[in-house]
Amino acid sequence: MFINLLQVHPTYYVTWVLAVIASVVLHELGHGFAAIRQGDRTPIVSGHMTLNPMVHMGGISLILLAVVGLAFGAMPVNPAAFRGRFGRAAVAFAGPAVNLLIAASTILLAGLLVRTGLVTLPMWEPHVIPYRLDSVTILLIVAQLNLALFAFNLLPIPPLDGSTVLGDFWPDWKRWTSNPDLAPFFQAGFLLVFIFGARLFVAAGDATGIAFRALAGG
């Protein structure tokens, strides 16, 4: 179990926990800023425009993170207040977009650090917990995590952001996902995605490694 890393590899444990917290908080703030731009002040009124992880994640999510390494967050919004025609899609996409921006930024920074000779090429493998953590390895862990979050959240299965985006452009999808008779099927789909999410994380690691080596010249 993830919490066992606290004993066998405490540095990696702390790094992962902090990376997840930062990524989830920034993801939710992405939703919040997009909602505000759409004319919705709910994120401000509810006090969610903050960096406080307890506000975005809550105690249950933080405990889940500490034990199994996974977490979730929430940003209250009022779609009825959105001005744009595709306001729901814009606000929903903003969260994953922040994760993609984080992933791209950290990969770019890691590649530049190695290419300029400021640090040596790390012995980093995306599918193995690194024994030694250096600055570049930490950046790549953050990149892999955020690339996985980007892809996962854009899957068109409720309650993920991708379902909201698709529903805003395809009304039938919104109607189907709102149908209580179909809810068990979507819940089963979400459960399957959650179970096989590890493969998505592996794919994100492969993509991170390819992009990093291309930038680092290694």
What confidence tens digit (pLDDT) does each residue in 160-199 have?
999 999 999 998 888 887 878 777 877 877 788 777 777 8
Mean pLDDT of 4-11: 91
Q: Is 28 a catalytic site residue?
A: yes
Q: Are 26 and 32 in contact (CB under 8 A)?
A: no
Query: Could you say which of 16, 28, 31, 142 is catalytic?
Result: 28
Mean pLDDT of 2-21: 94
Q: Is the pLDDT assigned to residue 82 strictly greater than 70? A: yes
Residue 197 belongs to what H/E stretch? helix 197-216
pLDDT band at 218 (very low <50, low <70, confident <90, very high): low
Q: Is the pLDDT assigned to residue 210 strictly greater than 70? A: yes
Tell me the C-alpha distance between 21 and 27, whole Å.
10
Q: Identify the pLDDT of residue 109.
A: 96
pTM: 0.92
Domain residue ranges in the chain: 2-216
Token output for 88: 């729901």
Token output for 73: 């967050």
Q: In sequence order, what are the residues at sequence separation of 6 or more whose Cβ sits closer than 8 angstroms to the Cβ of residue 198? A: none
CB atoms within 10 A of CB 148: 23
Length of the chain: 218
Q: Identify the pLDDT of residue 123.
A: 63
What ranges make up the beta strands (E) of the chain? none
DSSP state of 158: T
